[in-house]
A and B are shown apart, each in its own frame.
Chain A
């Protein structure tokens, strides 16, 4: 018969030899293996003190970006909420008043923008749906809380700061994504 893969192995059902039946050599070699592991480098990461490095395209907690002048990019179009398969995103739109041009980029903005981190599956569809390059996922992780209510992130948790040092760098993610789109 023709083999389907080159990984197939011949299985034999021949009787075990006396040494194999005695099991003791096999047990001893097994103990040797575990003893070797005793001296191996440990793969534990002591979390709070030590953090593992994530891939730059790791899909962690979200950020709502501002533009170069510090105005919020989000225009509350709702495409992210529509794209969200877990229905974690909700928002309320509002109209920009006079004098708020430096705060919001366009006439419409999100007065309330909430992501329920308990529902979110970190699929990244919101960031793909966003036409304004406003929402991105970052390699930061969502911390644990005691109350369910604390997991609903409002704008205070999501929008990045205005000061340059408070900005969240998503350039790696952007380059990676652009390369995926136009290889």
Chain B
């Protein structure tokens, strides 16, 4: 591998890492602000202008809190849990094409890689819940993992429809193919809806945040966690949200494409910058919708969640897949 490529990719990795971390940090702020605004409150406004230093204060608080490991916990796994969850959350960002030449790894199985890492994310929760040696944590972890596995099926089936349209597993090819206003959401409105629902469930976001119900499970899989280990779990959730919004934008909302913008005729640096901004704004809008949904809908009951996943979303996804297949055969 030539040196300039290594340097370029390293810079890109660091940049994306910083952006992801920054967005995740400010998502915690935005979540509280949006929650407050939707509920006629003001939200954090004491730390800095508009409470903009709130994530910093939260971070300091997380670090200052007592580091606690239950005496009966499996120590190594207890520590590994949040680390693994964070790791998988960050890894998915590597294949998202942020611009025509802004992609860390241009894998030709990009979408498979994303789905794969999302499912490995289950281990972070499961290990953390199991290692806590606490019934409620284990219940929470089992709930989380069964929920994630159930919704992964529908997600995969919906993504198959996209792959049929594009003929490629490569996220970049999928993004390129949606040039102009040729967005997949136009051809796959149902798929888009199902994907959004499953993405919410995958991120353990409300109304699918069952692993964390305080009333039934005390705190769910992270009951025994304190300090920055808890912070990792919560923080990784926001990273997951950011990444899945970016994946939704790439798969359905045209990726970095915008009607009226042609990057091939632009200066490559400017083109990439604009492409990055376009996808970034789309992603942030997606994150806003995630939060909006959270503060609108109440949590599901667990059997309703499973009912929705297995009996409604999976058949709908299969139907969507068949319809797409027929469409591709007839008009493709």
Which of B16-24, B39-47, B57-65, B102-110 faces chain A?
B39-47
A40 close to chain B: CB less than 8 A? yes
CB distance from A84 to the nearest CB of B (A): 37
Checking B41, B45, B193, B292 against A34 with a beta-carbon cut-off of 8 angstroms, the contacting residue is B292
Chain A at the B interface: mostly helix, strand, loop or mixed? helix
- The reply to whether A34 and B40 contact each other, CB–CB distance below 8 Å, is no
Determine if B40 and A30 form an interchain contact, defined as CB atoms under 8 angstroms apart: no
* Interface pair B40/A42, CB less than 8 Å apart: yes
Asked whether any CB of chain A lies closer than 8 Å to the CB of B302, the reply is: no
**Contact for B42 among A34, A37, A42, CB less than 8 A:** A42
A33 to B297, CA, bound (A): 11
Q: Please, how many angstroms separate the alpha-carbon atoms of A31 and B41 in the complex?
A: 17
List which A51-72 residues lie within 8 A (CB) of chain B: none
Chain B 13-35, CB-CB to A under 8 Å as 1, else 0, gives 00000000000000000000010
Interfacial chain B residues near A18, Cβ < 8 Å:
none
* Interface status of B295 (Cβ within 8 A of chain A): yes
Contacts of B293 in A (CB 8 A): 31
Is the pair A24, B37 in contact by a Cβ cutoff of 8 Å?
no
For residue B36, give the distance in angstroms from its CB to the closest CB of chain A: 8
Q: Are A31 and B292 in contact, with the CB atoms below 8 A?
A: yes
- In the bound complex, residues from chain A placing their C-beta under 8 Å from that of B38 are 34-35, 37-38
Residue tally, chain B, CB below 8 Å to A: 14
B296 within 8 A of partner (CB) = yes
In the complex, which residues 248-306 of chain B have their Cβ closer than 8 Å to any Cβ of chain A?
292-293, 295-297
Which of the listed residues B42, B193, B293, B296 has the most CB atoms from chain A within 10 Å of its own CB? B296
Given A34-B292, A37-B37, A27-B297 contact (CB < 8 Å):
yes
- Alpha-carbon distance A40/B40, docked complex (angstroms): 7
A43 at the interface (CB under 8 A from B): yes
At the interface, is chain B mostly helix, strand, loop or mixed? Answer: loop
Which residues of A have CB within 8 Å of B41? 42-44
**Would you list which residues of chain A between 1 and 55 have a CB under 8 Å from chain B?**
24, 27, 30-31, 33-35, 37-38, 40-44, 46
| Max chain B Cβ within 10 angstroms of own Cβ: one of A24, A34, A35, A44 | A34
Chain A residue numbers with a CB within 8 Å of B292 are 31, 34-35
Per-position 1/0 for A119-148, Cβ under 8 A of B:
000000000000000000000000000000
**In this complex, what residue of B is CB-closest to A27?**
B297
Q: Name the B residues within 8 Å of A24 (CB-CB).
A: 193
From B41, which residue of chain A is reached at the shortest CB distance? A44
Interfacial chain A residues near B297, Cβ < 8 Å: 27, 30
**Minimum distance in angstroms from A141 CB to a CB of chain B:** 21
With A and B bound together, what is the CA distance between A30 and B34 in angstroms? Answer: 16
Q: Once bound together, how far apart are the Cα atoms of A41 and B39, in whole Å?
A: 10
Q: Is the CB of A38 within 8 A of B37?
A: yes
Residues of B within 8 A of A42 (CB): 37, 40-42
* Contact between chains at B40 and A37 (CB < 8 Å): yes
Known: A24-B193, A42-B42, A44-B42. A30 touches B37 (CB 8 A): no
Residues of B within 8 A of A (CB): 34, 37-42, 45, 193, 292-293, 295-297
5 smallest CB-CB distances across A and B, nearest first, come from A44-B42, A34-B296, A34-B38, A38-B37, A31-B296
